Chains A and B, each alone.
Chain A
Amino acid sequence: MSASLAVPTSSKAAWLESWLTGLPAPNGELQQVQQRGRDALARVPMPSSRQEDWRFTDLGLLSSIPLAQPAAPAPLTLPAAAAGVCRLEWHGTTDPLAGQSLPAGLQALSAAEVAQGLGHTLAAVGCEQHWPVELNHAAAERVLALRVSSRSQVSLELISAAAQGLQALRLLLLLEEKAQLDLSQLVDAQGSGLHSLVVEAHLARGARLQHGLVALGRSDAALLAHVALEQEPESEAKLCSVSAGWGLSRLEPRAVQVDGEANTVVRGLQVVSGQQIADTHSFVEFKGPEGQLDQLHKAVAAGQGRSVFNGAVRVPRAAQRTNAAQLSRSLLLSDRARIDTKPELEIVADDVKCAHGATVSSLQTDELFYLQSRGIDADQAAGLLQRAFCEEVLRDLPAAARAWCPLERLLEVQA
């Protein structure tokens, strides 16, 4: 059991109260949102293991993270952005667009557009009142709000690093008809910090979004992330997230196909070791017919790490001829690690295909032996198999995120 689990609820509440009291008065473009979040946090208790959605995921670590203004991160050593790819340094407190010339097809939203669009998708996917979202509401000073114009094709990188403290990032994306966006996002913890990320994206008819989130943490850092999508018919969204090394991470990819007839692909990989906790709660809802979902979630748990996956899929009566497949595969590398995985399918429509499956296994003896029988020593063979396990998700990252060599970093933070 991790030490953080021992923190009593009252201490957690005291931590939150102290933080809320110390915040400056709501201000700036998100003034109203901040007020709403702070009111909610003051009113609603922190999630606890008594709630089904938080049964396995203790937030105790948060009380030990100093939430002062984030210190400046050390520069990351990343390969240069490829030609035609727009890279933005995004830390939540300054304007990442200042001094930047955006590529053709990508524009900042006006204040009026932000006011109209912000929170719309969060409400559509039913998470606007989730505690981590309200925390982001309370803390975020700015929103990065972008539009991809109809029929444009844009590749964007967002690099977010923080040395310590609370980093609250809020992103709003509007993809117009047949717009295409490849978004590679890196969240890198360089100190004991809480990284709060809320992304909402609206995909108009025929739009295509490929979102890759690479989140690399530390045992004294936490990540709370919501990625919310609203998809019009004929749109395609591929959400691919890989995370490792966080003392606590909670990721919630959520998508709603507003009239069906869209395609959603969700890929996730989470790696835990030591006493880390990684939790993915996904949610996909089809509100019309002929929608598609292809979801694969993978977890690697070593040491005394704990991995949680909950995959909700909602198929109401209107969503006839939905074709959804969800698979959870977990690799247990230690007999003290723990995996909790649960599909949560709610199917009312009768003419649908909804497949789901879950496997938890250790490294396969026959695979290890096959490699060893070719002269590859046991450790190297185990490493190859572990890499192979991860690769199935990593290959679905956008090209820019793949170029960051996340696998090496994932295995590095795990070690």
Chain B
Amino acid sequence: MIRPDAPVLLEIRDLHARVEDKAILKGVNLTIRAGEIHAVMGRNGSGKSTLSKVLAGHPAYTVTSGSVHYRGENLLDLDPEQRARIGVFLGFQYPVEIPGVSNLEFLRVATNARRMEQGHEELDTFAFEDLVRERLKVVQMDPAFLDRSVNEGFSGGEKKRNEILQMALLEPLVAILDETDSGLDIDALRIVAGGVNQLANADNATLLITHYQRLLDAITPDYVHVMAAGRILRTGGKELALELEQRGYDWVDQELAALAAEVG
């Protein structure tokens, strides 16, 4: 839902970042307002996942220049956990398995960290169980998954559902979902997309990183951005994704070549 007067939640300006000695992001600009759903598409290696990890504060990535403000606050000054507590959520492309850490305990600690930041009371074990059982419905998850270790032995689809369950519990204002559709069969994709749609509202925003139109058939984006060579090359509406589906990315090479010629 595009509302020009909606508050800006995330403002990325000329963001450059590298991993080890390799520059990946080379000037990303993006403004996300409350209520909006953005999709970022692009070839492998174009910088999409790096953008998501930089926003969440992964220690392997170094921001070399530019800025990211979240509701006016410099996001880059904050540790990953502080970013999460104030409402920035990263849904992982490959959720990590953590044997020995109970999923239920993990979800409770995470939810309480967010609640404390919002000035709410911590939930005790019983109150949390009530909440989590209600939120399980968002992703049609079996409560038995709560008793297992975090993501351990989960199928690809179960891991992604667990990510959306975390999103449902943490109620972020900016959710960055990194290839949430990868590895999902048709039913799981429908469930995960349904969960994202249920959680989207006028006060929050979603940034979907995806390769495929099939996710955007289920979650309608307000904006589609095409990333290439570490920056956003083009922005359009949902029709841009359809165009990509038909034309592929060859035109991107031509535009990049043209840009390089201009600069040269």
Contacts and interface: CB of A to CB of B under 8 A. Distances in A.
Interface in A362-415: 364-367, 369-378, 380-381, 384-385, 387-392
A366 B99 contact: no
A405 to B, nearest CB: 15
A350 to B, nearest CB: 34
Given A380-B109, A388-B98, A388-B149, 8 more contacts: A364-B96, A365-B59, A372-B57, A372-B81, A373-B80, A377-B79, A378-B81, A390-B100
Interface in A198-257: none
B249 interface: no
Interface of B: 56-60, 79-81, 83-85, 89-90, 92, 95-96, 98-101, 106, 109-110, 113-114, 117, 149-150, 166, 170
Contacts of B166: 374
Nearest to B100: A388
A364 B59 CA distance: 12
Contact of A365 (B57, B60, B170): B60
Interface of A: 364-367, 369-378, 380-381, 384-385, 387-392
Candidate in B83, B96, B100 with the most chain A CB atoms within 10 angstroms: B100
Candidate in B58, B101, B106 with the most chain A CB atoms within 10 angstroms: B101
B100 A391 contact: yes
Contact of B80 (A369, A380, A388): A369
Counting from the closest, the 3 A-B pairs by CB-CB distance are A388-B100, A375-B113, A374-B110
A209 B114 CA distance: 46
Contact of B99 (A374, A377, A381, A388): A388
B81 A385 contact: no
B110 A375 contact: yes
Contacts of A366: 96
B81 A377 contact: yes
Nearest to A389: B100
B101 A375 contact: no
Contacts of A364: 96
Nearest to B88: A373
A372 B81 CA distance: 5
A385 B83 CA distance: 21
A400 B99 CA distance: 23
Contacts of B113: 374-377
A302 B113 CA distance: 28
Contacts of B150: 370
B143 to A, nearest CB: 20
B109 A376 contact: yes
Contacts of B110: 371, 374-376
B109 A385 contact: no
A287 to B, nearest CB: 35
Contacts of B81: 372-378, 381
A296 B80 CA distance: 34
A370 B84 contact: no
Given A365-B59, A372-B81, A380-B109, A385 B101 contact: yes
A389 to B, nearest CB: 6
A384 B59 contact: no
A366 B90 CA distance: 13
B84 A373 contact: yes
B98 A372 contact: no
A385 B105 CA distance: 12
17 contacts: A364-B96, A367-B98, A370-B92, A370-B150, A371-B106, A372-B79, A372-B81, A373-B84, A373-B92, A374-B81, A374-B110, A374-B113, A375-B110, A376-B106, A376-B110, A377-B79, A390-B100
A373 B90 contact: yes
Nearest to A394: B100
Candidate in A370, A375, A380 with the most chain B CB atoms within 10 angstroms: A375
A390 B150 CA distance: 16
A65 to B, nearest CB: 35
Nearest to A393: B100
B109 A372 contact: no
Contact of A375 (B58, B84, B95, B100): B84
A36 B92 CA distance: 64
Candidate in A364, A376, A387 with the most chain B CB atoms within 10 angstroms: A376
A62 B170 CA distance: 54
A377 B112 CA distance: 12
Contacts of A381: 81
A124 B170 CA distance: 59
B59 A369 contact: yes
B188 to A, nearest CB: 21
Contacts of A372: 57, 79-81, 84
A388 B101 contact: yes
Given A370-B95, A384-B106, A388-B149, A378 B100 contact: no
Given A370-B95, A376-B109, A384 B101 contact: yes
Contacts of B85: 375
B62 to A, nearest CB: 14
B96 A370 contact: yes
Contacts of A391: 100
Contacts of A378: 79, 81
A327 B56 CA distance: 35
Contacts of B149: 388
